[in-house]
Amino acid sequence: MTLQTRIPTFRRSPTVLITGGAGFIGSHLCDSLLQRGNRVICLDNLFTGSVDNIRPLLNHPNFRFIEHDVREPIELGGEIDRIYSLACPASPRHYQKDPIGTMKTCVLGTINLLELARLKGARVLQASTSEVYGDPEVHPQPESYLGNVNPIGPRACYDEGKRAAETLMFDYHRTHGTEIKVARIFNTYGPRMLENDGRVVSNFIVQALRGEPITIYGGGTQTRSFCFVDDLVRGLQLLMESPPSVTGPCNLGNPHEVTIEAIARKVLTYTGSASALRFEALPKDDPKRRKPGIDTAVRLLGWRPRVALNDGLQATIAYFALQIAGETPSLVPTIARRRTDRTARNQMKVVDPSL
């Protein structure tokens, strides 16, 4: 298979539908695709997404926002070339708030998008998750690992919902010839995460900036691998525009593994906070270790994460500091805008290495 190192250029500007496009990852993807000259339709029910994330785009001639729930049938006129399926609450705090609704989003939403893809002849990318591996017994996790998921636990609505969405993608591919891509996304962080997201990075940063105790669930020895959002968005686009034979699943994440306590201490250092560490019981079925095997992404997409954890954390802290101060962060508050040397600027050109 030929190494995929850059995103192909269309003969005309493609029309791209992004469900969950007003969310954390989705809004960054909207930015990037518009910068590349795409026409973007952002569809979101605003359950965890926010119009604030896309507000500067609302007057863009190639951008359209539709408030809609993917659990309901989707009817859109005109051509659609690409569909990114990102609509689903991704943090336990939010997906456990309405577990039945979460499962419906994963299953009914995926069916509705696949039917739209059939009608339009569009290629569709499913944003799956590392949670399909559950509390893994294989480390790091390759795409071939079938996982260790508790199908009746409190996280199952999301874990099993995403597994079901992957099943639907491949069944439509085998049955109808639908062009599909499945990305398994590992822990992602960066600007536009919600303050009340409930995930590690946003929790630690917000608590540190407010001088509150840093809450660590478990002993802090459990590990995660954190990928900055710019790296992920680049990986999603490379996967979407890879040859039709590349269906995935494809892990997208940063293989740099770090303990939860180490992340907390980095946040304390970069914020200058005097917050104490507070340890609480580990939630049920919370994974002890998480690290992606990214050989598939390297081999088929030419993709590797570029943003160092220290740089990404400082950019994310700067974003939350502005939010907490009541200021409006920049539309694209990426690290690239915080660096001035040529080498760093080249490193942060995350959409197309040829730029």
Catalytic residue among 158, 172, 189, 319: 158
Q: Is 101 helix (H, G, I), strand (E, B) or coil?
A: helix
- Picking from 348, 353, 310, the residue whose alpha carbon sits closest to that of residue 332 is 348
> Other CB atoms closer than 10 Å to residue 65's CB: what's the count?
18
Residues 355 and 345: their CA atoms lie apart, in Å, by 11
Count other C-beta atoms under 10 Å from residue 67's C-beta.
12
Task: Copy the structure tokens of residue 114.
Answer: 């696949």
Query: 42 near 21, Cβ under 8 Å?
Result: yes
> Torsion-angle region of residue 78: left (phi > 0), alpha (psi -120 to 50) or beta?
left
Count of other CB atoms within 10 angstroms of residue 81: 17
Q: Between vectors from CA 204 to CA 201 and to CA 207, what angle results, nearest 5°? A: 140
DSSP at 304: -
Cβ burial, residue 244 (10 Å; 0-12/13-18/19+):
exposed
Angle at 255 between CA 193 and CA 267, to 5 degrees: 45
Length of the chain: 355
Beta strands 82-85 and 63-67: pairing type?
A: unpaired
| 158 is an active site residue | yes
Residue type, 39: R
User: Which pairing describes strands 188-189 and 227-228: parallel, antiparallel, or unpaired?
Assistant: parallel
Residues identified as active-site: 158
